[in-house]
Amino acid sequence: MAKYVHSDVLDGGLNAIRNGAIRMLLLKTYIPADSYATVTGNAICEVTMASGDYALTGADGAARVLSVSAKSGAAFANSGAAPDLHIAFTDSVSKVLLVTDETSDQVITSGNTINFPSLTYTSSQPA
């Protein structure tokens, strides 16, 4: 049985991130489904995102990819001795739109420069 999703449908979720995520946060810890208040309370660095920081690519009939530009900012809090770092995208009001793991889990000290890497999120054709 053949399956297909038009790129407009695949872009729907990606556009929710691209159009709504105006902050990228580095979190010292994250548990799936943490509330907005908990996520922002666990933030140790924040950068503002603009529409030009996001790009959608991929042909119709293929996976669609949201690419996020690399950014940097200064940590405003310490991570603690054993952080479980994550990167979160929020709307700066009430929604956590995307959270992904940050794999280095290095200790962060307030005032350190944080380099957020370029990252991607993929919306795939149905399997």
Q: Which residues of the chain have pLDDT under 50?
A: none
Q: Are strands 96-101 and 43-48 parallel, antiparallel or unpaired?
A: unpaired
What's the confidence (pLDDT) of residue 78?
A: 97
How many other CB atoms are found less than 10 A from the CB of residue 67? 15
Burial of residue 15 (CB within 10 Å: 0-12, 13-18, 19+) is: middle
Residues 6+ away with beta carbon under 8 Å from 25: 39, 40, 43, 45, 46, 87, 88, 89, 90
What's the confidence (pLDDT) of residue 94?
A: 95
| Residue 56 · residue 14 · CB < 8 Å | yes
What's the confidence (pLDDT) of residue 99?
A: 95
- pTM, 2 dp: 0.91
What's the confidence (pLDDT) of residue 23?
A: 98
What's the confidence (pLDDT) of residue 9?
A: 84
What's the confidence (pLDDT) of residue 21?
A: 96
What's the confidence (pLDDT) of residue 106?
A: 95
